[in-house]
Amino acid sequence: MTADLTVTDVRLTPVLVSDPPLLNTQGVHQPYAARLIVEVVTAGGTTGFGETYGDTKYLDVARPLAEALPGRQVTDLNGLFTLAGSVKIDAARVEGTADAGGQRGVQTADKLRLSVVSAFEVACLDALGKARELPVHALLGHKVRDRVEYSAYLFYRWARHPGGRGGTDDWGAARDPAGIVAQARRFARDHGFRSFKLKGGVYEPAEEIAAVRALAEALPDAPLRLDPNGAWSVPTSLDVAEQLRDVLEYLEDPTTGTSGMARVASRSGIPLATNMCVTTFPEIPEAFATGAVQVVLSDHHYWGGLLRTRELAAVCRTFGVGVSMHSNTHLGISLAAMTHVAATVPNLDHACDSHYPWQSEDVLSRRLTFREGCLDVSDAPGLGVEVDREKLAVLHRRWLEDDGTMRDRDDAAAMRRADPGWVTPAVPRW
Ligand SMILES: [Mg+2]
């Protein structure tokens, strides 16, 4: 008998997840990061899970979408976009605010909708896969590889959050080349990572160049990346590229805007990657026509799900542009979704980013484990992960009890707890 795939219920559970004091050009990660867990329940008794950003503006879109879904089929993934399109968003409250990654000035109502749809799409695919006893990758055309490689994500960081809030860990501070190299060695030892990305834009370029040089010396032949989140001018970007040309796999978003990226790309002779100037389909034509980016960092949250991620990969393949994967703070549900879609993209030529090793908490019964820097692609039905209800309840309780300061990402506000005079730096910062 065929299971009934009609959606009967959708549950939304916002959670707060412990996050270390990782530094970036905007400020520092808050002690807790908000995520939204989406559950789609079918008449056949299957529950599928998805995950996305949990800030208030995402919840405001997710709630009406959740109310509209019952009665529809989990196979109707295209219908999710139509439903989300009818959700009213006060554009004035959204346009120009920080986007999901804490970057400024790039959020739009459409991008917000897509990030919410992504969690519903993944939950529907998880439910469908469980009902059909097929892994999600099989629903996307089947895996073309058995494991997906990830890159270590290195951060300048403090030992603790200011003011004593939040969890603690034993990583200590990393504020110079030696600290970054020690972090890389620990990631390599604990997870087997073979490629390394440093989040830059925190210190003066000379300091970050020294850190990448130290990494190249400590880890010869390892692919290295540096991502200052657009903190540099075009001349500064060209200067950094010149000094690191021989050791970088690619330079990620050295400067903001497609035209600036195009000027850097044409003169630097080093591949540029982005998760800032190409985050939607309408941004692709100009960026590709001007040669502004050589690698697009896909992100199934930004792009509206796993099917859209495959569409993006097809466009990149058509134009000879590389594909890799971007990450913001996330839990195991999203990591499983990333791994399934990454396994189906033939032209995924670079190791994917993931913050997951920094997250000490998860809603999964069993955390996903990297071996040799890779995750095995699950062949179990759906995403192949099991959610622990008690863990979910604990993290939801933290969200319920929060005084409102942690529910919306604000890295500059977190920085002001240590440095009251901190203002978000103007771009370019250097
Ligand atoms: Mg980036």
- Give the active site residue among 161, 300, 326, 340: 326
Q: If you average pLDDT over residues 347-354, what whole number do you get?
A: 96
pLDDT higher than 90, residue 1: no
Which pLDDT value is given to residue 298?
A: 97
Q: How far is the CA of 6 from the centre of ligand 1 (A)?
A: 38
199 catalytic residue (yes or no): yes
Tokens 């040799």 correspond to what residue?
372
Q: How far is the CA of 197 from the centre of ligand 1 (A)?
A: 10
Structure tokens, 417: 């707890």
**Calpha distance 333→37 (Å, rounded):** 9
pLDDT tens-digit readout, 293-334 = 999 999 999 999 999 999 999 999 999 999 999 999 999 999
Name the least confident of 44-48, 87-91, 134-138, 157-161. 87-91
Q: How far is the CA of 160 from the centre of ligand 1 (A)?
A: 24
The percent of residues in the chain predicted with pLDDT above 90, rounded, is 93
Write out the residues surrounding ion ligand 1, Cβ under 5 A.
Answer: 227, 252, 275
Q: If you average pLDDT over residues 57-72, what whole number do you get?
A: 97
**Calpha distance 259→311 (Å, rounded):** 24
Q: What angle do CA 288, 294, 295 make, to 5 degrees?
A: 110
Which pLDDT value is given to residue 404?
A: 87
Q: How far is the CA of 232 from the centre of ligand 1 (A)?
A: 13
DSSP 314-369: HHHHHTT-EEEE---S--HHHHHHHHHHHHH-TTB-SPEE--GGG----SBSS---
pLDDT tens-digit readout, 366-418 = 999 999 999 999 999 999 999 999 999 999 999 999 998 999 999 999 999 99
pLDDT higher than 80, residue 107: no
88 catalytic residue (yes or no): no
Cβ atoms of residues 399 and 46 within 8 Å: no
**Calpha distance 136→60 (Å, rounded):** 28
Which pLDDT value is given to residue 350?
A: 97
Cβ atoms of residues 95 and 88 within 8 Å: no
Q: How far is the CA of 134 from the centre of ligand 1 (A)?
A: 33
Mean pLDDT of the chain: 95
pLDDT higher than 80, residue 86: yes
Q: How far is the CA of 21 from the centre of ligand 1 (A)?
A: 18
Confidence of residue 98 (pLDDT cuts 50, 70, 90): low
Confidence of residue 96 (pLDDT cuts 50, 70, 90): low
Q: If you average pLDDT over residues 282-288, what whole number do you get?
A: 97
pLDDT higher than 80, residue 105: no
Which pLDDT value is given to residue 270?
A: 96
Tell me, what amino acid is at 51? E
- Give the active site residue among 29, 111, 191, 199: 199
Q: How far is the CA of 383 from the centre of ligand 1 (A)?
A: 26
Q: How far is the CA of 394 from the centre of ligand 1 (A)?
A: 31
Which pLDDT value is given to residue 305?
A: 98
Q: How far is the CA of 343 from the centre of ligand 1 (A)?
A: 21
pLDDT higher than 70, residue 97: no
Q: How far is the CA of 408 from the centre of ligand 1 (A)?
A: 20
pLDDT tens-digit readout, 200-253 = 999 999 999 999 999 999 999 999 999 999 999 999 999 999 999 999 999 999
pLDDT higher than 60, residue 77: yes
Q: How far is the CA of 209 from the centre of ligand 1 (A)?
A: 17
Tokens 């990450």 correspond to what residue?
327
pTM above 0.85, yes or no: yes
